Amino acid sequence: MDKRLVISMPLIIILLVLFGTGCYYDPAKDQEIRYPRLAVYHDIRPYTYDPKTILTVLDGGDGEIFQSLPDWGQERIYPPGSFAWQQQDYIKITSTLNRFVTQDNLEGWSVYSINASRDCADTPLGFDNFAITYFKIVGDRYTTREMHVRALAKEADWAGNMDFPRPFPLGWASIDLEKLKVTADDALQIAEANGGKAARQRVNNACTIAVALAPNADDVNWGVYYFGGAATLFHFSIYPY
């Protein structure tokens, strides 16, 4: 047999397996949007609220919390400071927002990803930005809903009515909120104690901290990132369960 063919035979076999399972590179697949992100939704509904009172109002019932904004994607004003809301606060806010928009309570929906961020500070507690994405199976595809909260800008977006292909053979992984032993807040503090603090102090807190749990994108762990300009100053990974 041709020596060249013998050498490349294992590669061909691997490719045949990948081809068979649909796990090969196919530029045509680039045509289909496979992962949710805010920019691809056509149904984005922006709202404003009073960040000073929203948590108190929520504790007393839903009330009239969210006021619709006329346009999405306007230049935002971020006053200095921090609200330091925690993951559970944001879950409460986003759930209420979803109920306000859709009149349902996300029953039957799974969590696709959680993202939270804030500017660096001497004592970084809680977050100022939060996003959570939910999904559920509809037919042979996934449909998603996504809520973004920007506390300092007094804005929250609800996005939905977008569907995505189900990867073959494995579908999307979900985050089990009930079983999470490490929350976004915990992840931030663990990262702080394990090098994050030193990283932000090296740049005098001129940085942003992002905490992400996105098992479908990169890994099943919490990723805590300290970004300074273009550079990732520090990254820490934490198993969430």
**Is the preceding peptide bond at 27 cis, omega within 30 degrees of 0?**
no
- For another protein, the binding residue among 55, 141, 218, 241 (CB under 8 A) is 218
Q: Provide, rounded to whole angstroms, the least separation between the CB of residue 7 and another protein.
A: 8
How many CB atoms sit inside 10 A of residue 177's CB? 14
53, 231, 239, 241: residue in contact with another protein (rule CB under 8 A): 231
CB 31 to another protein: min, Å = 6
In the complex, least distance from residue 40 CB atom to another protein, rounded to whole angstroms: 4
Instruction: Confirm or reject binding of residue 180 to another protein (CB under 8 A).
Output: no
Q: Which stretch binds another protein (CB under 8 A): 60-68, 97-105, 136-144, 211-219?
A: 211-219
**Residue 170 vs 217, nearer CB to another protein:** 217
Within 109-168, which residues bind another protein (CB under 8 A)?
112-113, 115, 117, 131, 133, 150, 161-162
Site for another protein in 28-87 (CB under 8 A): 28-33, 35-42, 73-76
